[in-house]
Amino acid sequence: MQRATWGSKLGFILASAGSAVGLGCIWKFPYVTASNGGGAFLLVFLAFAFTLGLALMKLELALGRAGRAGIVGTFKQLGGKHWRWVGIPTVLGCLIIMMFYGVVGGWTIAHIKMTLFGELSTTNTAKLSSAFSEFIKQPVTPIIYHGLFLALTLGVVIGGVQQGIERLSKLLMPLLFILMLLLIVRGVTLPGGWKGVEFMFNPDFSKLTIDGVINAMGLAFFSLSLGMGVMITYGSYIDEHTHIPGTAMWIVGLAVMACLLGGLMVLPPVFAFDMNPGQGPGLTFISMPAVFAHMPGGVLFGTAFFTLLLVAALTSSVSLLEVAVSYFVDELKWSRRMASIVPSVLMLIGGIPASLSFGPWSDVKLFNMTIFDLMDYLTSNIMLPLGGVVTALFGGWVAWKTVEKQLAHGNQLPAFAMQTIRFTVSWVAPVVISVVLLKGL
Ligand code: PHE
């Protein structure tokens, strides 16, 4: 009996962790941490994740369970009709995220194939690096893979097999964690690998810039899936007895752990093989094949790794597409099929310039960023934090009574803890996020 209850709570935690844990932790976290100087950046990231991030996670889950709907339905129900406008920026944000997320999802699929066919079986990192840049430079192939990734996401959403995917990810996510542990052991024991661990955990605050702080905040929002109403939607599925603060802690804990494992997996080989840690989005895709080449059964481990990464990416992309779908179905009364296809087509089209910005359009720059980087910057560092501000203000000032009730379900919170959450969402989150954003601009 008891096991069954625990099992279902674990099921929910793993499902929402499925949205959080994705390319953000394994592809983005390592290269952003590396580009921002390592240890000091990590501390700022952790601070954001466990203060504002955790409070917002509790808030989004609580709002969702109270509203029993996606972000628009929940805001309208708890705040009144005029709150429906929050829907448009969130849908827009999810669309833009998927435009570049899908491109990286496509790289993942391509790497399953390349690893399986031994195309990356070399210990020569210069070769691996040029193989990767040759691949992403192409004008057409990466876009086809991007389309394939979107088609998979669309298939899951239209087929209504989210639950199937979630059940699958319950099995595969722990497998991914185990595989990562194994790969960490291999990477750290490479001669010179330990330097990567030191780089990640030795804070050097002279390397921390205001850009670093913005990036750390954006990365925390991105890797926890916060600020876009995704966790509100997931919260709407939690049963009445589940204790939200505990659940939120689990989700944040698992996502942060996945990020740390991602960093520990990707960075040691970067140092062992003398690669440039600041090289950007290709880091994971170049350093991991080098690790596989240094282990027996590398083809098998490599193929398994990219396959599990694809599943992790899919559980996140499904949650992103779902935000758009539920908006079009609920607000514009579209059919579910149409509401899934239209945003997917937009994501496909928008992904084309993102992909081309690694090749023919690499010179096209705005604010000194490529189109890909700009999409990432705009969503992670601006739109998600702003979404966080709106959600925090809404929860702290408009709907606090309801939120308070939701947080106390299943297990009373000490008054002090409740006040801390309220203070964090009403004041700390809006002020801190605004200050960081203004400083950055
Ligand atoms: N958190 C997801 C990841 O790390 C990405 C994501 C961002 C999903 C925002 C939903 C909303 O891959």
Q: For atom 8 of ligand 1, which residue has the closest CA?
A: 225
Tokens (6 digits) for 381: 């560092």
Q: Which of 88, 2, 32, 18 is nearest to 278 (CA)?
A: 32
Which residue out of 16, 19, 173 has the highest number of ligand 1 atoms within 8 Å of its CB and is therefore the one to mutate?
A: 19
Sketch the domain layout of the chain as residue ranges. Answer: 12-440
Q: Per-residue pLDDT for the chain (441 aa), expressed as one digit of tens each?
A: 233 344 567 777 877 888 899 999 999 999 999 999 999 999 999 999 999 999 999 999 999 999 988 899 999 999 999 999 998 999 999 999 999 999 999 999 999 999 999 999 999 999 999 999 999 999 999 999 999 999 999 999 988 766 777 777 778 889 999 999 999 999 999 999 999 999 999 999 999 999 999 999 999 999 999 999 999 988 988 888 889 999 999 999 999 999 999 999 999 999 999 999 999 999 999 999 999 999 999 999 999 999 999 999 999 999 999 999 989 998 899 999 999 999 999 999 999 999 999 999 999 999 999 999 999 999 999 999 999 999 999 999 999 999 999 999 877 889 999 999 999 999 999 999 999 999 987
Residue in the structure block whose two tokens are 């609580």: 62
Q: Whose CA is nearest to atom 9 of ligand 1?
A: 225
> Can you name the CATH fold of 12-440?
Hydantoin permease (1.10.4160)
Residues 6 or more apart whose Cβ sits within 8 Å of residue 175: 308
Burial bucket for residue 85 (CB in 10 Å: 0-12, 13-18, 19+): exposed
Give the angle 374-380-381 at the CA atoms, nearest 5°: 80
| CA separation for the pair 35, 38 (Å, rounded) | 8
pTM: 0.95
Backbone angles phi and psi of 240, in degrees to 5: -60, -25
Between the CA of 35 and the centroid of ligand 1 the distance, in Å, is: 20
Q: Enumerate the β-bridge partners of residue 369.
A: 366
Shortest-distance Cα residue to atom 4 of ligand 1: 24
CA distances from 112 to 120, 123, 262, 284, 390 (A): 10, 18, 18, 14, 39
